[in-house]
């Protein structure tokens, strides 16, 4: 079946990768890597994608979940980025992924009527004009103070002079990335997770050395300049077996790992990446009385109140980060910063007891020189750095990309594949992804119209069918077929949540899930939606997965334990800070010893699945952090 990532048949995909040769090997399974695989595969190229952990395991599951032009980028006069992003937003809403990307209104409260309303109004006029007249979302409009309070009674009425309402869009970022990867597979791409590129292969002369996706490895002493990259040595992290994957081009979509790619390869790239940490909290819908999203100014940036089903996502922070790229964590200070800024505009303050969950992600922001990193953050603040992307060709046969934002992933993918095939041995067609709906989009109107009949046919509620359509689109009946075969899978996975046990089975047989974290963290979103981060559902998930993947009782217990330990670590930031009351200023970046580019392969490999790494030369030993497989 096209577009199926069946974890029970993963060994077949590994054999296909090893059999090669490929035209393009993509390293990295975030939204950029998945998009690059789709772009290349839909041009008729033979494509493979390897990801060291899971699809969307990093930044691509930890965003604000917004598909938007970006009002603050407009204020920074980054007009090109805003116009591109608005066009991509509209494509996703109307054609490419209407089942996943949906318009959402945002209310911008105004407190200085004479100064603020003309300023914000003019900005929104430009925002609407950049989008054009053929638009899937309404134009902005003005509200009086009374009108604003009708839409958002949660706002403090003091000094409120009115508001503006405009529209952007939101998406389940992890599900979107997964769907992009599945669409790539539907067009012939071989997609394998838990597979690390541990070395780059090159034309006669040897290996280019190191670890990728995770980072590329190697040393500057190897005489790499002029050596053509011809593939990668890949390590199956489930078995430990290594094999070579030969490819005409290797495309590295490493995100926040990009600098390590260049440093350990001995390449002086034309850009560097600064990591910016973004933290969000999740609160019950009842905690904030509003029927619209909201956006408010902070001292340094903006704060979003984003409707998320029966919950709110509130954030974000934007601070320099130099810690562990693999599992960035929120701090208590991050949570206090968000609460303090939110409570500046809320009549009923949010408290820590209102916070269900907290999550942190890293943005790969591109800088033009070494200055920002060498000056230890003394360059531009991360809120001022461009969200545009950069494509680099550091070695023949090797292309890398960094920067960008979720909304413009398709353009990033197009640009990096354009660069990869610019001197390809044969003619390669132009990108077609602008015309290529993601899996689940084709036939969506008919499936929505037939929702009542589908509910009757499968003996489930109309609410269940509606839930599945918003997550799988026209593929919703594939999940329901599992319920028909095994009615027990039609039961809810967790009380108070709409997810079905069938969605766990589907995650294994259609979406490549290999571990409990893959399901609870990214296939269903209990990690960020449940007060216990999904820990109480871990044993049930392990049981369903175990039956399909042949896990022993011991393996199921180990998977359950590892996820529960991981879930417990996410609650640490919600502990109270034993200090002064929270201030509404951004939390300072947490200093951390930078990772050494000369670390041996054994150190890099040990990072997988949360195993404590052996200390790199000159480093202090680190305590183990429980991160699930």
Q: How far apart are CA 613 and CA 629, in angstroms?
A: 15
Say if CB 513 and CB 546 are below 8 A apart. no
Per the DSSP assignment, residues forming a β-bridge with 398 are 250, 395
Q: What is the pTM of this model?
A: 0.87
Query: Sorting pLDDT into bands at 50, 70 and 90, what band is 44?
Result: very high
Predicted local distance difference test score (pLDDT) of residue 340? 95
Say if CB 256 and CB 275 are below 8 A apart. yes
Contacts of 50 (CB under 8 A, 6+ apart): 17, 25, 26, 27, 29, 192, 193, 195, 196, 197, 213, 232, 234, 245
Q: How far apart are CA 315 and CA 296, in angstroms?
A: 10
Say if CB 214 and CB 607 are below 8 A apart. yes
Q: How far apart are CA 335 and CA 315, in angstroms?
A: 9
Contacts of 615 (CB under 8 A, 6+ apart): 603, 621, 622
Query: Sorting pLDDT into bands at 50, 70 and 90, what band is 491?
Result: very high
The string of pLDDT tens digits covering residues 195-217 is: 998 888 988 754 554 444 433 33
Q: How far apart are CA 176 and CA 89, in angstroms?
A: 13
Reduced to 3 states (helix: H, G, I; strand: E, B; else coil), residue 313 is strand
What pairing do the DSSP bridges indicate for beta strands 102-110 and 22-27?
Answer: unpaired
- Please, is 70 exposed, middle or buried when counting C-beta atoms within 10 Å of its C-beta (0-12, 13-18, 19+)? buried
pLDDT at 50 over 60: yes
Query: Sorting pLDDT into bands at 50, 70 and 90, what band is 324?
Result: confident
Residue appearing with tokens 């095939």: 421
Tokens at residue 210, please?
């190191």
In this structure, of 180-194, 512-526, 582-596, the range with the lowest mean pLDDT score is 582-596
Let me know how long the chain is: 629
pLDDT at 131 over 60: yes
- Burial of 49-58, coded b for 16+ CB within 10 Å and e otherwise, reads bbbbbbbbbb
Predicted local distance difference test score (pLDDT) of residue 370? 52
Per the DSSP assignment, residues forming a β-bridge with 251 are 26, 399
The string of pLDDT tens digits covering residues 68-118 is: 987 777 877 778 888 899 999 999 999 999 999 999 999 999 998 888 888
Backbone φ and ψ of 266, nearest 5°: 70, 30
pLDDT at 435 over 50: yes
In this structure, of 53-62, 392-401, 473-482, the range with the lowest mean pLDDT score is 392-401
In this structure, how many other beta carbons lie within 10 angstroms of the beta carbon of residue 590?
16
């Amino acid at each position: 079946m096209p577009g199926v990532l069946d974890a029970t048949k993963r060994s077949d995909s590994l054999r296909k990768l090893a059999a090669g040769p490929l035209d393009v090997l993509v390293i990295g399974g975030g939204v950029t890597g998945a998009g690059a695989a789709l772009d290349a595969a839909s041009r008729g190229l033979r494509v493979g994608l390897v990801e060291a952990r899971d699809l969307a395991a990093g930044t691509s599951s930890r965003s604000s979940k917004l598909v938007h032009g970006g009002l603050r980028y407009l204020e920074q006069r980054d007009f090109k980025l805003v116009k591109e992003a608005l066009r991509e937003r509209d494509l996703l809403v109307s054609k490419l992924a209407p089942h996943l990307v949906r318009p959402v209104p945002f209310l911008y409260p105004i407190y200085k009527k004479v100064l603020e309303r003309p300023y914000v109004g003019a900005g929104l006029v430009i925002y609407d004009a950049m989008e054009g007249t053929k638009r899937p979302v309404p134009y902005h409009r003005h509200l009086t103070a009374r009108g604003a309070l009708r839409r958002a009674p949660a706002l403090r009425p003091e000094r409120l002079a009115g508001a503006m309402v405009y529209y952007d869009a939101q998406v389940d970022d992890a599900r979107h990335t997964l769907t992009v990867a599945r669409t790539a597979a539907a067009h012939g791409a071989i997609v394998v997770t838990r597979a690390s590129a541990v070395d780059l292969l090159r034309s006669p002369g040897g290996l280019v050395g190191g670890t990728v996706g995770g980072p590329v490895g190697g040393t500057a002493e190897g005489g790499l300049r002029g050596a053509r990259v011809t593939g990668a040595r890949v390590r199956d992290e489930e078995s430990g077996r290594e094999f070579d994957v030969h490819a005409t081009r290797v495309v590295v979509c490493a995100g926040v790992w990009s600098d390590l790619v260049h440093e350990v390869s001995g390449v002086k790239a034309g850009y560097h990446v600064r990591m910016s940490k973004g933290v969000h909290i999740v609160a019950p819908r009842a905690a904030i009385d509003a029927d619209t999203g909201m956006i408010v100014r902070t001292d340094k940036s903006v704060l979003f109140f984003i409707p998320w089903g029966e919950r709110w996502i509130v954030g974000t922070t934007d601070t320099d980060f130099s810690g562990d790229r693999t599992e960035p964590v929120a701090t208590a200070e991050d949570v206090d910063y968000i609460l303090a800024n939110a409570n500046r505009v809320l009549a009923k303050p949010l408290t820590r007891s209102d916070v269900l969950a907290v999550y942190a992600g890293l943005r790969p922001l591109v800088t033009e020189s070494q200055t920002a990193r060498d000056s230890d953050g003394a360059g531009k603040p991360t809120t001022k750095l461009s969200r545009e992307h950069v494509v680099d060709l550091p070695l023949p046969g090797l292309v890398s990309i960094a920067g960008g934002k979720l909304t413009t992933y398709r353009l990033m993918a197009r640009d990096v594949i354009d660069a990869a095939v610019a001197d390809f041995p044969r003619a390669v067609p132009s990108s077609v992804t602008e015309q290529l709906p993601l899996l689940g989009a084709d036939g969506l109107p008919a499936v929505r119209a037939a929702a009542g009949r589908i509910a009757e046919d499968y003996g489930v509620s109309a609410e269940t069918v509606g839930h599945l359509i918003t997550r799988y689109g026209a593929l919703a009946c594939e999940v329901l077929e599992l319920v028909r075969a095994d009615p027990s899978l039609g039961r809810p996975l967790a009380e108070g949540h709409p997810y079905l046990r069938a969605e766990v089975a589907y995650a294994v047989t259609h979406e490549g899930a290999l571990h409990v974290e893959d399901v609870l963290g990214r296939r269903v979103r209990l990690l960020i939606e449940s007060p216990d981060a999904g820990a109480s559902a871990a044993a049930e998930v392990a049981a369903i997965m175990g039956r399909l993947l042949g896990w022993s009782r011991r393996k199921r217990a180990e998977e359950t334990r590892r996820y529960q330990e991981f879930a417990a670590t996410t609650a640490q930031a919600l502990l109270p800070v034993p200090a002064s009351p929270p201030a509404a200023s951004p939390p300072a970046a947490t200093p951390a010893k930078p990772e050494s580019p000369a670390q041996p392969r054994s150190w890099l490999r040990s990072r997988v699945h949360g195993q404590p790494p052996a200390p790199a030369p000159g480093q202090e030993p680190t305590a183990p952090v429980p991160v699930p497989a």
